[in-house]
Every structure is written in C-alpha cells, then in structure tokens.
A and B are shown apart, each in its own frame.
Chain A
Amino acid sequence: MSDPRVDIMRVGLLSEGTHDPGTPPAGIRRAPAGVDGLTTEHLIINMGPQHPSTHGVLRMLIEVDGEEIVTAEASVGYLHRGIEKLAEHRKFNALGTLMDRGDYVSGIHGELAVALAVERLMEIEVPAKADWIRSLVGEINRIASHLIWYGTFGLDTGAMGQFLYAMRDREALLDILEAITGQRMTFNYVRPGGVVADLPEGIDDKIRAFCDTFDRYLDEHEALLGGNEIFQARVKGIGVIDAEKALAFGLTGANLRAAGVDFDVRKARPYAAYPELDFEVPLGTTGDAWDRYVVRMGEMRQAARMIRQCIDGMPEGDYTAKVSKALRPPAGEVYASVESARGETGIHLVTDGGDTPYRMHYRGGSLFALQALEDIVPGHLIADVVMMIGSTDIMLGELDR
C-alpha cells in the first residue's frame, strides 16, 4: 500500500505499544514545533461515509491537530448510480424519473430542467397553465427542500427540536404534492410539453391554508433556531466563501447569493411563470454560514409568496401541449437550467435524432459547493465542519448522481 493514509487507517493511533517519537508511523505528519518546543502529532480521521452529519454518504478525510483541521479532502461517489449513463437508454419522457432520483428532495426542479431541454430542442410551445403549475409545484418543492435543510442544519448544531417542527411543515407540503402529483418525493410530474395531470379539485384552498399557517410557523422557526444565541455564535463568521471564491468555484443558488452575488436563474434566464411572478432575491453580504442561513430562510418566505401568486393567478386552459408519447427530437445540442433548491440545476442534452439522448450531462449545485468546502475547511474545528457541510446544503444524491 503506497497511500500513506491507508496505512494509518490500519495502524490506528492507539495501536499496541508506544512508537518512537523520532519516527512517526506512516501517514502521521508531525506538526511544526510550537513556541515551547512541544511537538504534537496529527490525527487523520475518516469522517463518513457512515457519519451522522455528512448528510448521506459523503466521506471527508480530515487531518486534525487536536480539534483543529489541518487539511481536508472530500471523497465522493458512494451514491453513484450512473444517472447520466442510464439516461442514454431512456426515452425522453422517462428522463424525469432519473432526475427525481438525483436530487431526491427537490425532484420537481430536475424534472423541469429535462423538460425544458427537450422542449427547446423540439420547439414545443407549453400552455400558460402548465407554466404556472410548474412554478407552483417548484416553489412548494423548494420550501419542502429548504425545510429539510433547516431541520438537519439544526441537528448538525446539536439542536433537536426544530428538526421535528420542520418535518411537521414539510409533511403538509408533501401531502399537497401528493395530491397534485400522486407521489411524495419521486414525482415524475413535469414532462416535456407540460405536466402530467391537472391540479385536483379544491387544492387551492389547501395550499392557501398552508400558506397562512406557514408564515406564522416560519417566524417560529426563525425564533427557535436563528434567534438562539448559541446557534448564532456557532454559525456567524464560520465557513466564509466570499464572492470572488464563490464565483471561482462555480457556486450557484443560495450559497452564491449569500456572498452578495445577485444571480438567480429565475431572474437571469426566466422560465415557467417566473417572468410574471413578483418576488425578491434575498442576498447576503459576507458569505458565511449565517448568511447562507438567512438567505435560505428568506427564500422560503419568497417561495410562500410566489405560491400564493400562483394560486391566485392560475390561468385557465390546457395543462399540457399535445405531444407524442414517443418523443424524437431532432439531432442537436441544448442546455437548459433551472433554479433548484441547491442552485443552478442544468441539463445539457446532445441528441442524434433517435428516441433516446446521445449524451446527457447533469449539472447540480452540490458538487461545486463541496469543492469550495474542501477549500475553506482547514483552520476550522471539527465541530465547524459539520456546520459548514450543513450550511451549504449539499445533497449527495445530486452530487454523486
């Protein structure tokens, strides 16, 4: 085994006997002698893929000096299912099912990206009602996704209560999504041409009732976690990704906006009903974990606002264009992107005129956020690592695809 890290995994720091301080075991780098000439050894820890706070199966190899991180290396791929390759063998109508399983907590956005790509290739005109429904379910899904982030972010800090409060609200949202799409997480609802089914009877009352309570609940959430002194002490100034670095790493979504960069796909390259919806894009200033928290909480408020507008302004008409079941886009290349809960979710489709894509590339926000994370982790404490992972809201299903 040439990789020194593999050796240290096997040796372990607590192996029998004491080693000669002159020759540290392979893989242990000796820290430079301190002011008093005291030397300490660095410990290399495997954080994940089985770890409570790496949000799934992320593996971080961290080298620590006591509690302080010296280097960090993220190791990904534990949830790789080959979505991009599988897509080459799926009909265009079925791509959405794969996307649902990519970013599985905000599936609608993945489906929408695929649908937009196919529609642009085939120049399908989508009816207005379909566009409005897409925005509606998209924003509902955004809140559901952000609630998961909010709950688990709190769990990362060690608080338990807010997680279950977040689940309570998410449950109501999933019920609504289930009523609309027939599924709670893997929807397969947005298809090229429109959506699969019309909104069910009486759903607007349900959604309105939710919005009314949610505004109040959101205040409660902000008071419960964000208003907590300990929480603020834990997140403020932690994991700063400034605008320059965020742009350099290709961050999108709330992670980018937390650094004060005003980029939102919904505004920059409008799709669905967003040109007609009135909403603001919350921005942060410094790009630390607290800013990311504030931006996401703000996004939930804006999403609730948009849901109301969607319900009030829902046009009459068809919910889907008349498209063939066997889609056969002309040979070509297209990129379509949407603003998902994790940033820009983009689909790059290359077609050769057949009934399956020649190549599909799936661009999600998590991978870029993780690369930035790797860069900012050193110098922080172990406890901060989980906070930073939590604050960037990476999603391993999307990251490993």
Chain B
Amino acid sequence: MSPTLAIIIRLLAILILMLTNGVMMIYMLRKVLGHLHIRLGPVHVGPYGLLQTPMDVLKLLTKEDITPRAVDKWLFFLAPAVVAVPSLMAYAALPFGDGLAAVGLETGLLFTFAVLSIVPIGILMAGWASANKWSLLGGMRAAAQQIAYEVPLLLSVLPAVMIAGTMSLGGIVEAQSGTWLAVIPRWFITNPLLWPTFLIFAIAGLVELNQTPFDLSEGESEIVAGFASEYSAMKFGLMFLAEFSNQFVLSALGVTLFFGGWMLPWAPMSWYEAVPVLAPAVFITKTYIGIFVMMWIRGTFPRVRIDQLMDLGWKRLIPAALFLIVLTGVIHKVVV
C-alpha cells in the first residue's frame, strides 16, 4: 500500500468517525439530559429513539438555507467551514492505540491545540458576518473567552508534558504505563502534583468548548442564540456538529494527558497485541465517560457572567498555571 493511499484511508476513517460520533453524541446528549431532567429523551423514532438524530441530520440537510440580506456573504458562508474543518483536523493526532493515530506527529499536542484554537475565529466571523446585534455580542464574547482561556489551557498541559518529556500524544500515553508501588497505575491523574493542573485543564477546556457553565457565546437566555442566531440548515448543522466534535477531541485529550489514554490499568502490553480493538475501545470508552461528565454539568449548572469568567481566567487560572509549571519543574527535576 502506497503511503498516500494509507493517509487517504486514515483521513476517511477520521471523517466517518467524526460524523457518526457527532450523531451518536447528540443522541447521547438527549438521552442523558432527558434522564437528568426526569423525562425520557427521544423514544419514538426507531428503537429507543435511536433514529431520531439521523433523521434530524436529514432534516437539516433538506431545510432551506437562509442567507439574510444584510449579512456579509463571504464571511457568513465561510464561518461554518472555519468552525468545522479545524475540529476535523484535530482528530489527526489523537492516539487511539499504540501507534494508532492518523498522523503520528512528534508535536501532536501542539498541533491539536493549534487547530482547536482556530474554532473561535470562525465563531467570531459568524458573529460579525450575521449583521445581528445578538450575534455580534456572541462573537465578541467568543473572542474574549478565547484570548483569556487559550493561555491557561496550554499552560495547564505543560506539567504533563514536562513529566512525560515529549509533546507527542502517543509518547505521553506511553509515559503513563506501569504502576507506582506496584498498585496504582502510573496515570498522570494519580500524581497529586497534577491534580490542580487537571482542574485548570478541565475548566479552561470547558471554556474553549463553549460548554455550560461557560456557554456565553451562545447563552440562549441572554443573547438569544449568540453567533448562531442567523444560521439555518446545514450551515447551522456544521457548527452544531463541530461543537460536539470538539467536545470529543477535548475529552480525548484529557484522557490522553491524564487518564492513561488507551491503556487499561494493570493490563500487560500483550493484551493489546492479542486483541487489536482493545486499545481503541478503551480509549473511546474513556473519552465517552469524559463526555458524559460534560453533559452532566450541562444539565445542571447555571451560566457564569462574562466579568466573572474573565476574572477567573486572568486573575486566578493563569497565575495558578504558571506557578504549577514552576512547582512541577522543581519537584520533578530536583526531588524525584
């Protein structure tokens, strides 16, 4: 098999994964929120309502694509693509197993964060182009959030990188193999030094994803639907899909950085060789647990206010993250 063909097949696999994943996650969101809210979620279309979301995708595809007269046509058209394409690219470096990434980048972590940080630019474009005051406010909020939280998010992963000694996502997972004192798996989350780091990662990650309680850029009770107010049909569908896809990517990053990636605790390496689907299955299961927690938060928490959000980012998280990097450096290099 030629290398070009191999890459095309891998990228196709990612595309299919992203699309089916998005559909599954929307179904999951509806069911999880439904049961959190003492109702059932979708039940009528297909067994257990499973076909509800595919039907909704069909509906979005066949709906009229409305372009309001006053919009900036180019930006309005481009924005969904700028939102959706990077979130697709972010899958490229995720390690689904031992060496099982579409593109095994040495700087996978940096790459993933770099492409994910393009998404808010698309949101800002959408907000600006819509010629709607609510959209504009949503776009501006997205920009402010982005600037404030990109920094702590990146800083929060550095301690893990420092301990692993590599920026390759696969390498970071391998650095978490084995056990402490022959009992506790060597996942970074079991290292007390990385607990506050994980907290910062989780908060900043939720902000980056525009997830409750930080969903200010679309905060439906305040600014109607924010940047998405004027979008309809599949343009809206793409943004919606990208939101879920990013959720998956960020959860996957969390799993990779702190929860041992595709590894089961205490399982010897020979297992993964004997059962090739074990590693991806473990990885996706862990990722979905992370997604479930996000949905749980989404179903429960109120939204913070923009000034409180900025306060938290600039005054608390960034200094804390910087301090943690120094602390990790000192403890890891001097003591251990």
Report A-chain residues with C-beta under 8 Å of the C-beta of B39.
164
CB nearest to B298 among chain A residues: A160
CA distance A104 to B221 in the complex (A): 23
A15 vs B128: C-alpha distance in the bound complex, in angstroms?
Answer: 11
Residue B2 is within 8 A (CB to CB) of chain A in the complex: no
**B221 and A155: CB pair below 8 A?**
yes
Q: What 0/1 pattern do residues 138 to 174 of A give for CB contact below 8 A with B?
A: 0000000000000000111111110111001000000
Say how far A170's CB is from chain B's closest CB, in angstroms.
13
Report whether B303 and A230 are in contact in the complex, using a CB–CB cutoff of 8 Å: yes
In the complex with contacts A53-B222, A158-B303, A161-B299, A382-B137 CB distance below 8 A: yes
A6 within 8 A of B: no
Indicate whether A164 sits within 8 Å of B136 (C-beta atoms), given known contacts A157-B303, A381-B305. Answer: no
Do A386 and B301 form a contact, CB below 8 Å, given A14-B70, A164-B39, A381-B307? no
| Segment 331-365 of A: residues with Cβ below 8 Å from B | none
Question: Given B70, B216, B221, B308, which contacts A157 in the complex, CB threshold below 8 Å?
Answer: B221
Task: Please determine whether A158 and B131 come into contact, CB atoms closer than 8 angstroms.
Answer: no
Q: Which residues of B contact A279 (CB under 8 A)?
A: none
Q: Given contacts A12-B70, A52-B224, A382-B223, is CB(A165)–CB(B133) below 8 Å?
A: no
CB–CB A383/B306 < 8 A: yes
Contact-size category for A: 35 or more
Residues of A near B224 (CB, < 8 A) are: 51-52
Judge if A234 is at the interface, Cβ distance under 8 Å.
Answer: yes
- Chain B positions within 8 Å of A52 at CB level: 220-221, 224
Which residues 276-315 in B have Cβ within 8 Å of A in the complex? Answer: 298-308
Size class of the contact patch on chain B: 35 or more
Q: How far is the CA of A385 from the CA of B305 in the complex (A)?
A: 11
Whole-angstrom distance between the Cβ of B263 and the nearest chain A Cβ: 34
User: Which residues of B6-38 have CB atoms within 8 Å of chain A's CB atoms?
Assistant: 33, 36-38
Residues of chain A within 8 A of B301, CB atoms compared = 158-159, 228, 230
Give, as a whole number of angstroms, the nearest-CB distance from B126 to chain A. 13
B304 (CB) vs chain A CBs: closest residue: A230
Report yes or no: B213 in contact with A165, Cβ–Cβ below 8 A: no
Q: In the complex, which residues of chain B have a beta carbon less than 8 angstroms from the beta carbon of A225?
A: 302
- The closest CB in chain A to the CB of B135 belongs to A14
Report if A164-B302 is in contact (Cβ < 8 Å); known contacts: A14-B70, A52-B221: no
CB < 8 Å neighbour of B70 from A15, A163, A165, A384: A15
In the assembled complex, 5 residue pairs joining A and B whose CB atoms fall closer than 8 Å, in A order, are A154-B302, A158-B303, A159-B301, A161-B300, A168-B38
Contact surface of A with B, Cβ cutoff 8 Å: 12-15, 43, 45, 51-53, 66-67, 154-161, 163-165, 168, 224-225, 228, 230-231, 233-234, 381-386
The 9 closest A-B pairs by CB, nearest first: A158-B303, A157-B302, A159-B302, A164-B37, A14-B131, A53-B221, A231-B302, A383-B222, A383-B305
- 17 extra interface residue pairs, beta carbon distance < 8 Å, beyond A13-B136, A233-B305: A156-B221, A157-B221, A157-B303, A158-B215, A158-B301, A158-B302, A160-B299, A164-B38, A230-B302, A230-B304, A234-B302, A234-B303, A382-B222, A383-B216, A383-B222, A384-B305, A385-B222
